[in-house]
Amino acid sequence: MGFDGIKNKSASMGKKPMSAFLKVNKYENPQTVLDLISHICTSGMDLSVSDEFTPYRDKCSQLEEDYSEINTREAENPFVNASISDLTENCAAPYAMMPAYLDYSGFSDAINVAVGGGYSSGKSSFLNNITGIGAVLPTGIEPVSMINTYISFSDKISKLIVSGKNCKGHVVKLNREVLDCIQHSSKSKVYVSSVLEELYIKVPVSKEREYLKGLVFIDTPGYNNSDNANKENGKKDIDTAIDALQDSDALFWCIDAEAGTISQRDIEMLNQLIDYNDGNYPFVIVFNKMDKKPNNDLVKILQSAEKICKSRLKIQPIDIIGFSSIGESAICSLKNKQKATTRGGVMKVLASILYKMKDGFSNTRSVSYWTNWLAVCFDQEIKDCDESLADLEKDRKELAKKKADAFSKSETSSEEKFSFVKDHLPVVEDVIIKSYDEILNSRDGLIDLFNRAMKGWSKALDREDQWAEKTGFFSDASNLQRQSNNAVNEYNRVMTAAEKNCDEFQFWNTESRKEDLDLIRQAYEYYDSADEDVQDSLKEDYDNTVASKETISIYKSFLQKKKQEIVHVFTTCCENAIKKNEKRLRALLNIKEEEETDVFSAIANDNMNRFLDCFSNGVDLTKCNSQGYSPLTYVAKNSNNAMMRFLIDHEVDLSLKDKNGYNALETAAIYHCQDICELLINADKGLLMESQSLTKLAANDRFENWISNF
């Protein structure tokens, strides 16, 4: 069937509305995405700053060795050993934290503010709006944020910079359009998220948004999208979200206002984050899309959420707000009872909220925080040294007194013992041995004399009694007899008592007394030796106490010196790491973008990638080149099927004529491009009605006319 027949047959067919201006994302093309993945995997550089902290790590690990060089005492001090161990462990914390904070993103001095919530809760739209970056972050009904995206602000740049950390941990500069590729579904079915771990967007700070300085916003996936791992990167959205949320210092928690309330899962997630941050976690609850709710309903939603928070959350939010990204945006603050519908008013309310987040916040990512932290660690150990020295000095004084008392008593005792040994022990020996014998002999003599006297007296009485009986000399003999009897009785009593007492009298024999004297000597020698042991023990304790004081004093001086060294080395390492980051930033700024090319050059060179790049910025299909061809007719002339399919797929106006007066179908017929003709006719059969006779145009062989000139 001829073209004219086709034309007539298609006359009654309708026509779709077409566009004369086309702007598309070049990453819709599978080959372009594959090229991007190749760029991400191969063009990145390892810009980790961990090596910059090697001097600090080495200095900390040598603490014990450095101390041993100045400590001349061989004996170990438990206090010093424990202190060095604790200090070495504490010094490891900044090394473990700061390189990670400075690597790649360089967010060390910023407060990380995460934007979290469920999928389709307006997180990305909210971020695009409050940061003033426009529609940089991809939005839509489908969940799109698969990679944690960090948005920071700098007054050292003049344009937005996009970079990312690839699967090797290297940094690569990216085109801002790559953000549209980081999504769950793509026409190309090729997923850039499989080779990217994090995205970094640096935004120049404007004067009206100076309140954004010192903040880094983190765009996170919806935590409740799916329990299944994504095919693109093998991660669950909730795991990706939690990683970023736990890396944050503050939070905007987004909820779709149409939900009407805060859900139990939201409460659980917030409480989990509160626990993770030990209750020090400022956050704001944001009900997005407030434009879909009447004002009265919105206020009720915010008030209801406040009641739920008071009853179920472990700490309360800074504020509960309603927000709309439509138009100039709008905001409604429950705590401040403010509502704003102008751009300036919205920024004022947001600035107030963000200042509250910053207020009193201890930034654990800043260099100053860790330098102060290190100084405090050393100061605490120095303070412990002072306390230990004070205790040891108290012990030293007590031991000195005890030692003095012991030696004083010892000297006095020694003199007494010497006097006892020299003067008194012979006396004791004389008393116990010699004098005791004399005493016993004297006792025996006295008893003997007593017995003899008594016997003599008894005989005298007997004679008197006998004499009286014989002579009757006395007139009162009876009285004499009575007195004699009394005397005899008294004599008998005394003798009986004397005999009894002599029998009961106990005394030590000579051998027993010699043994006792030996015991006295041994007792003296024992106690004299014990006194010497006490003196030795006190002296040893005193010497040890003095030695400990000296050791800890040396260690204290060591700490004071090392405090300055360690803090200085750490600060220097941080400065070098920051300089490396700044150098990297300059390198990113100096990386030239692909040279811009006009669409006609891309078509002439059959360069599909450059052709798609042109449409990323938008192409006016009515604009013609110097030869009079429009982009559409120039594609037809060059018979590029892929480019023509691209234009057809994006529903451009195929009937547009160029300056030569031809449309794409007519141009394809003139240059005998059968494939292009078929593509155009299949796409829009109405073109046949609007075109000249294709048969005549095909018969006008321009090549034959041109070649005949030679």
Structural element, H or E, at residue 693: none
Residues 523 and 639 both lie in one domain? no
Phi, psi of 684 (to 5 degrees): -150, 95
Residues 530 and 632 both lie in one domain? no
Q: Write down the pLDDT at residue 679.
A: 92
- Degrees, nearest 5: CA angle 82-84-88: 120
Q: Show the low-confidence residues of the chain (pLDDT under 50).
A: 1-17, 140-144, 184-185, 188-189, 474-475
What is 195-222 written as a DSSP string? SEEEEEEEEEPPGGGGGGTTEEEEE---
Confirm if 245 and 111 have CB atoms less than 8 A apart.
no
Phi, psi of 18 (to 5 degrees): -120, 170
CA separation for the pair 107, 171 (Å, rounded) = 15
Phi, psi of 201 (to 5 degrees): -120, 115
Which residues lie below 8 Å from residue 703, measured CB to CB, with a gap of 6+? none
Residues 410 and 534 both lie in one domain? yes
End-of-domain residue from the set 523, 548, 573: 548
CA separation for the pair 119, 222 (Å, rounded) = 4
Q: Write down the pLDDT at residue 404.
A: 75
Tokens of 45: 């550089």
Which residues lie below 8 Å from residue 671, measured CB to CB, with a gap of 6+? 636, 637, 639, 702
Residues 413 and 522 both lie in one domain? yes
Q: Write down the pLDDT at residue 184.
A: 43
Which residues lie below 8 Å from residue 669, measured CB to CB, with a gap of 6+? 3, 677, 691, 694, 697, 698
**Within-domain flag for 535:** yes
CA separation for the pair 621, 655 (Å, rounded) = 11
Burial 73-97 (b: 16+ CB within 10 A, else e): eeeebebbeebbeebeebbeebbeb
CA separation for the pair 174, 594 (Å, rounded) = 11
CA separation for the pair 362, 356 (Å, rounded) = 13
Tokens of 688: 């046949």
Residue 563: how many other CB atoms lie within 10 Å: 18
Phi, psi of 679 (to 5 degrees): -60, -45
Q: Write down the pLDDT at residue 3.
A: 43
HSE toward the beta carbon, residue 419, CA cutoff 13 A: 5
**Within-domain flag for 668:** yes
Secondary structure of the chain: what % helix, strand, coil (to 5)? Answer: 60, 10, 30
Confirm if 341 and 262 have CB atoms less than 8 A apart.
no
Taking only the tens place, the pLDDT of each residue in 372-410 is: 999 999 999 999 999 999 998 898 888 888 777 766 655
Q: Write down the pLDDT at residue 5.
A: 44
In the three-class reduction of DSSP (H, G, I as helix; E, B as strand; rest coil), residue 592 is classed as: coil
> In terms of Cα–Cα distance, which of 284, 371, 367, 356 is closest to 107?
367
Element counts in the chain: helices (H) and strands (E): 24, 13
Residues 459 and 544 both lie in one domain? yes
**This model's pTM is above 0.85:** no
End-of-domain residue from the set 526, 548, 570: 548
Residues 669 and 543 both lie in one domain? no
Taking only the tens place, the pLDDT of each residue in 656-683 is: 999 999 999 998 988 889 999 999 999 9
**Within-domain flag for 220:** no
Residues 541 and 631 both lie in one domain? no
Residues 535 and 429 both lie in one domain? yes
Measured N-to-C along each axis, helices 78-102 and 510-590 cross at an angle, to the nearest 10 degrees, of: 10
What is 147-182 written as a DSSP string? SEEEEEEESS-SS-EEEEEETTS-EEEE-GGGGGGS
> In terms of Cα–Cα distance, which of 294, 300, 351 is closest to 324?
294
End-of-domain residue from the set 548, 566, 594: 548
Residues 683 and 540 both lie in one domain? no
CA separation for the pair 577, 583 (Å, rounded) = 10
Residue with tokens 């709008």: 330
| Cα dihedral sign, 207-209-210-213 | negative
In the three-class reduction of DSSP (H, G, I as helix; E, B as strand; rest coil), residue 288 is classed as: strand
**Within-domain flag for 160:** no
Tokens of 538: 């006190």
Taking only the tens place, the pLDDT of each residue in 315-341 is: 999 999 999 888 778 888 888 788 888
Range of the domain at 465: 393-548
Q: Write down the pLDDT at residue 461.
A: 66
**Within-domain flag for 234:** no
Residues 425 and 522 both lie in one domain? yes
Confirm if 84 and 67 have CB atoms less than 8 A apart.
yes
CA separation for the pair 210, 208 (Å, rounded) = 6
Confirm if 299 and 257 have CB atoms less than 8 A apart.
no
**Within-domain flag for 508:** yes
Residue 381: how many other CB atoms lie within 10 Å: 21
**Within-domain flag for 443:** yes
Q: Helices (DSSP H) in 11-109: which residue ranges?
A: 30-42, 54-61, 63-70, 78-102
**Within-domain flag for 684:** yes
CA separation for the pair 652, 646 (Å, rounded) = 9
CATH number at residue 630: 1.25.40.20
Residues 649 and 532 both lie in one domain? no
Structural element, H or E, at residue 624: none
Q: Distances in Å between the alpha carbon of 648 and those of 11, 641, 656? A: 20, 10, 13
How many domains is the chain built from?
2
Q: Distances in Å between the alpha carbon of 218 and those of 129, 200, 221, 229, 230? A: 14, 9, 10, 21, 20
Residues 528 and 639 both lie in one domain? no
